[in-house]
């Protein structure tokens, strides 16, 4: 029988907790959502944001924890919205991004996820996942959240993240890549028998 390792996940996003737990279950890791306030610095670097947030949360929680931040980086918009994706989604939504992309033919973009692990004995360690793709011409699909309806990952046969079943998305999404890297590291370095 596999021991289940519970780790706090500092987030207010239930979708992220569900997605991460689907991915990490194969490693015997279960993330428990913590509602402590996450402090995010303003930066163009997801890595800096995650590292700072992890150290800040560690001072309050004093237990092993996970911090995650993701962003949609659109080539022709100079990487916008990037680290500000959550804020931009709340203000503009998918329709706002599609409007910005209206007459742009180069629709290359990438989703990037940075997962940070920290504990009282371990300074933040970061795990990165990147998924390349394109911005669609219209929002499609009913799965996922955030900008998933307008992002067509490479190798998805033209389907947006929102048109993929959650288990399909997990196989090659930015979050899937980052959390699998973390899971492999954790069972090799922290959860060793």
Buried b (16+ CB within 10 A) or exposed e, 119-130: beeeebbbbebe
Task: Give the span between the Cα atoms of 179 and 185, in whole angstroms.
Answer: 10
Evaluate whether 148 touches 160 at the Cβ level (below 8 Å). Answer: yes
The terminus-to-terminus CA distance of the chain in angstroms comes to 13
Q: Is 63 helix (H, G, I), strand (E, B) or coil?
A: coil
Residue positions annotated with a catalytic role: 69
Task: Give the span between the Cα atoms of 173 and 151, in whole angstroms.
Answer: 11
For residue 106, report the phi and psi dihedrals to the nearest 5 degrees: -80, 105
């Amino acid at each position: 029988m596999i021991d289940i390792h519970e780790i706090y996940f500092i987030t207010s996003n239930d979708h992220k907790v569900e997605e991460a737990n689907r991915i990490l279950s194969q490693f015997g890791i279960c993330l428990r959502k913590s509602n402590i306030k996450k402090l995010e610095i303003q930066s163009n670097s997801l890595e800096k944001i995650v590292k700072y947030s992890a150290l800040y949360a560690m001072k309050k929680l004093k237990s092993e924890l996970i911090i995650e931040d993701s962003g949609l980086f659109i080539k022709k918009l100079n990487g916008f919205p990037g680290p500000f994706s959550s804020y931009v989604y709340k203000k503009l939504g998918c329709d706002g991004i599609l409007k910005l992309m209206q007459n742009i033919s180069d629709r290359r973009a990438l989703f990037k996820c940075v997962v940070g692990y920290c504990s009282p004995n371990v300074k933040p360690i970061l795990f990165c996942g990147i998924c390349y793709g394109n911005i669609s011409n219209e929002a499609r699909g009913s799965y996922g959240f955030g900008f998933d309806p307008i992002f067509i990952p490479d190798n998805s046969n033209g389907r947006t993240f929102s048109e993929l079943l959650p288990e399909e998305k997990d196989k090659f999404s930015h979050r899937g890549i980052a959390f699998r890297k973390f899971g492999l590291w954790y069972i090799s370095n922290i959860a060793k028998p």
